[in-house]
Amino acid sequence: MKALYFEHFGASEVLQYGELPQPEIGENDVLVKVEYIGLNFADIYRRRGDYHIEKHTPYINGYEGAGVIEAIGANVTNQQVGETVLFVDVPFANAEYVAVPSEQAIRLPAGINSKLAASIGLQGMTADFLAHDLGKNTPGEKAFITGISGGVGQVLSQMLVADGIEVYGSASSTEKQALALSHGVKQVFPSRENSWVETVEGQFSTAYDGVGSTIQQSLDLIKHRGKVVFFGMAGGDPVKIDPVALMSESKSILTGDLWDYLTSYEERKIRSERLFSYFAKGQIEISEPTIFPLSEGKQAHEFLETGKSIGKVLLKP
Ligand SMILES: NC(=O)c1ccc[n+]([C@@H]2O[C@H](COP(=O)([O-])OP(=O)(O)OC[C@H]3O[C@@H](n4cnc5c(N)ncnc54)[C@H](OP(=O)(O)O)[C@@H]3O)[C@@H](O)[C@H]2O)c1
């Protein structure tokens, strides 16, 4: 099968595209012929050697994809051959075929096709745990989202709006700012300058920060007893934070990793159904994904890494 892989950590040049053996499935796995693969910032961190990865040489990147089940292991009862499934936490996904543990395969409801599923799966389930397990905002509260028109930001902002939260955020280009406003966001500030910060300091119950380098700004934006939900560093590593300074203003930082919120078949089912329900009710719309052939993975990494993308970047085997 064809796959996108690397043998050494480094810049996008380390990525290679070529023939590798098709995976063999175990008795609890399903074999998925992948239709769309989701590219994520974590894939960039892994390629650079900055993130946990499974031992494997050569290393096939990627954890998210959607496609059709071609074979099932002897013990599999939850899925059938021919079903379309999504997976968001299965290694070696940048390939034509992926061996997916049955409990990690998520069935798609009518109305969610493989392209949409691969576009919203990982970022959408991230938005779900950020909003419902960490942020836990109540209707009428004010929340701020850095990089609000990124993949997680687009889903999270609309989820919070649908939940009755007043949402504000930051984005770099006027196109990205307009997109957020079209999703019911109250106000969007320019993300690459900070002259506006002092005008809204201390006003938000929660700041959701996946940009990382903005963590001090996020702490300034929240009110006393407020919280920053820190979930990534797309813009660079956060500065060190002094807990004593936080205590003096009763501010908190919460963090989370999706993998700690997807620990069973049941948990994946409940969370994916809750995510899909926002789409079924027309409460979340996302911009068209940018699709690169898997053979052009290097260009896709560069596109995501430079912050040019609006919404999801997909790879197509
Ligand atoms: N904790 C978890 O479980 C989990 C799961 C999934 C993703 N994440 C994290 O969530 C964050 C967002 O992920 P995503 O998939 O939504 O990514 P994305 O679509 O690329 O969005 C990231 C946004 O960050 C902003 N940004 C600010 N400075 C940047 C810079 N120097 N380079 C690139 N982007 C920059 C960009 O917005 P502007 O251009 O508008 O400023 C961009 O739209 C990432 O840090 C990712 O690692 C965490």
pLDDT tens profile 289-299: 999 999 999 99
Q: Which stretch of DSSP H or E encloses residue 178? A: helix 174-182
**Same fold yes or no, 2-120+262-316 and 138-255:** no
Q: Are strands 187-190 and 166-171 parallel, antiparallel or unpaired?
A: parallel
Right CATH number for 2-120+262-316 from 3.20.20.70, 3.90.180.10, 1.10.1200.10, 2.60.40.10?
A: 3.90.180.10
**Residue closest to 159 by CA, chosen among 19, 238, 277, 305:** 277
Range 301-311 average pLDDT: 87
How high is the pLDDT of residue 306? 86
Tell me which of 39, 64, 152, 185 to substitute to probe ligand 1's pocket, judged by most ligand atoms within 8 Å of the beta carbon: 152
Domain spans in the chain, listed from the N-terminal domain onward: 2-120+262-316, 138-255
Q: Which atom of ligand 1 is nearest to the CA of 191?
A: 41
Token pair listed for 283: 């409460």
Alpha carbons 266 and 112: distance in angstroms, whole number: 19
Q: Find the 79 Cα to ligand 1 centroid distance in Å.
A: 33
Amino acid (one-letter) located at 1: M
Q: Whose CA is nearest to atom 27 of ligand 1?
A: 235
What's CA 152's distance to the chain center, in Å?
Answer: 5
Q: Which stretch of DSSP H or E encloses residue 16? A: strand 16-19
Q: What are 192-213's pLDDT values in tens digits?
A: 999 999 999 999 999 999 999 9
Q: What are 63-107's pLDDT values in tens digits?
A: 999 999 999 999 999 999 999 999 999 999 999 999 999 999 999
Q: What is the pLDDT confidence band of residue 55, given thresholds at 50, 70 and 90?
A: confident
At 309 the three-state DSSP class reads coil
How high is the pLDDT of residue 98? 98
Candidate from 37-46, 130-139, 304-313 with smallest mean pLDDT? 304-313
Mean pLDDT rounded to a whole number for the chain: 96
Q: Is there a contact between 80 and 279 (Cβ–Cβ < 8 Å)?
A: no
Candidate from 136-140, 183-187, 303-307 with smallest mean pLDDT? 303-307
Q: What is the pLDDT confidence band of residue 272, given thresholds at 50, 70 and 90?
A: very high
Distance between start and end Cα atoms, the chain: 10
Range 41-52 average pLDDT: 90
Between vectors from CA 224 to CA 219 and to CA 226, what angle results, nearest 5°? 65
Answer whether the bond into residue 58 is a cis peptide, omega within 30°: yes
What are the Cα distances from residue 33, in Å, to 22, 73, 80, 181?
Answer: 10, 15, 13, 38
Q: Find the 131 Cα to ligand 1 centroid distance in Å.
A: 16
Q: Find the 274 Cα to ligand 1 centroid distance in Å.
A: 23
Q: Find the 267 Cα to ligand 1 centroid distance in Å.
A: 25
With a CB cutoff of 8 Å and minimum separation 6, the contacts of 214 are 146, 170, 191, 235
Q: Which stretch of DSSP H or E encloses residue 101? A: strand 97-101
How high is the pLDDT of residue 269? 95
Res 307 pLDDT > 80: no
How high is the pLDDT of residue 297? 97
**Residue closest to 291 by CA, chosen among 264, 316, 257:** 316
How high is the pLDDT of residue 85? 98
Q: Which atom of ligand 1 is nearest to the CA of 231?
A: 1
State whether CATH 3.40.50.920 applies to domain 138-255: no
Which residues approach ligand 1 with their CB closer than 6 A? Answer: 40-42, 122-123, 126, 147, 149-153, 171-172, 176, 191, 210-211, 231-235, 256-258, 304, 307, 309
